[in-house]
A and B are shown apart, each in its own frame.
Chain A
Amino acid sequence: MNPDGEARTQEFLERLDGGHLVEADDWMPDAYRAELVRLIRLHAVSEIMGTLPEKEWVPRAPTLYRKLALMAKVQDEAGHGQLLIRVAEDLMAPRGENREHIMEDLFAGRQKFHNVFHLPVPTWADAGLIGWLVDGAAIITQGMLLGGSYAPYTRALRRIVEEEAFHIQHGESICMALAEGTAGQRAMFQEALTRWWPALMMFFGPPEDGAALSHQAATLRFRIRSKTNEELRQRYLSKYVPRIRSLGFIIPDPTLQQDPDTKAWTYQQPDWQQWRAIIANHGPRSAARLNLRRTSYAEGQWVRDVMAATRKAV
């Protein structure tokens, strides 16, 4: 970087420290743009891939009401993907890139998505658990990002977080019905919880143990995020462990406990090797879901061609 650029970056950082927000066509350091693109693409693609595990349960949702609500919820996820991918596209425009590049990267294995969306959803309780405990995790991350320095992202997040309030209650409502239901329904939820707990502990990423990873250090410095993975996970445990236990369910971690004085949770570390493998598309449903997306994307190309032809004709 030339000295001019360095001075400009320094000035940019000072403005961020002063609470200044950045807009899409403001000047920004390349590293700031790169961190935003990385983060927002990951978020967008996770929303888009996140429609697939839950949509499997739309037809099978037990009642007409649940079918409607789940459809609305998955629709919102697609909508969140849409809001976010537009923010990403504006940031990628100077490089001549758009959502097509994101999809190509996804299909080529260069674009990751969240670990939870690589997993199977074998029962209705799993679908409910995603709404309650996975969306519950997501809203903690998103709530933290709301105060970030890139204004277009925070505007999209504000809409998203508003809608997530419905998602969590929708998930809670499904899980509550199972908790208050028959022995079979309760067992179904307990099994889902046992199945999902390690993935939920993985959701926020590995603990920093005092040494923030490079991307985190950068996003913290750029005031894109304000909390570490571990801080978010601690908050999550404080919110959800008492609720899960109050319904009489057992969290499959005998070591899980909260220090009465510091309020800090200790917990069994999930297998972080496995986490790396999952997000590298080696999860149990990674290949199938990518295939689903790849096939539908390829077979819908002619429709996007129609849209492009229409635009030229106007």
Chain B
Amino acid sequence: MATEASQARAGEPVLGAYEVFAQTSERGAMEWQASLLAGSPAMALMLARENFLRRREIFDLWVVPREAIARAGGADEWFRLPKTYREVSDYQYLVGKWRQYHQQAMTPDTMA
């Protein structure tokens, strides 16, 4: 008898891999949690909740068929030289400058 499992062994998987994403706060973003096997998106949702989020409050849950995900590759694909000109850390010196100008402004004779 050809069971579903034996069909899968013949190279036609009946279960799909789903990647699970959860949003743990109402204003927060979706975050990847884990992956699972299921027969349908609806089943994946049901299974995901208790498999990965049984200790966490969740606001919403996504399951995405793995074949729908395009992947970029490892860290080397993402290498980026430092771009401190776009980081606030490069402009921290302004804090001290503002303090200094503020104090000067408080002292009337320096404004003359």
Contact = CB atoms under 8 A, between A and B. Distances in A.
Interface stretch (B41-49, B71-79, B101-109): B101-109
Contacts of A76: 86
B83 A158 contact: no
Nearest to A170: B91
Interface stretch (A97-105, A117-125, A200-208, A239-247): A239-247
A76 B85 CA distance: 13
B69 interface: no
A21 to B, nearest CB: 5
Q: Is the interface of A mostly helix, strand, loop or mixed?
A: helix
Most buried by A among B91, B94, B98, B105: B91
Interface in A248-293: 248
A166 B94 contact: no
Contacts, number: 48
B34 interface: no
Given A155-B29, A169-B91, A169-B94, A69 B101 contact: no
Interface string B57-77: 000100000000000000000
Contacts of B94: 169, 172-173, 176
Contacts of A172: 91, 94
A69 B85 contact: yes
Nearest to B98: A243
Given A155-B29, A158-B27, A170-B91, A72 B102 contact: no
B27 A151 contact: yes
B97 A21 contact: no
Contact of A176 (B28, B88, B97, B105): B97
A229 B98 CA distance: 27
Interface string B29-43: 100000000000000
Given A169-B94, A172-B94, A246-B101, A72 B86 contact: yes
A242 B85 contact: no
Given A151-B26, A166-B91, A72 B85 contact: yes
Given A65-B85, A68-B83, A154 B91 contact: no
Contacts of B26: 21, 151
B85 A21 contact: no
* Interface pairs A-B: 10 shortest CB-CB: A169-B91, A72-B86, A246-B105, A246-B101, A69-B85, A68-B85, A166-B88, A173-B91, A21-B26, A172-B94
Interface of B: 26-29, 60, 83, 85-88, 91, 94, 97-98, 101-102, 104-105, 111
Given A68-B85, A76-B86, A158-B27, 10 more contacts: A21-B26, A72-B86, A166-B91, A169-B91, A172-B94, A173-B94, A242-B105, A243-B101, A246-B104, A247-B101
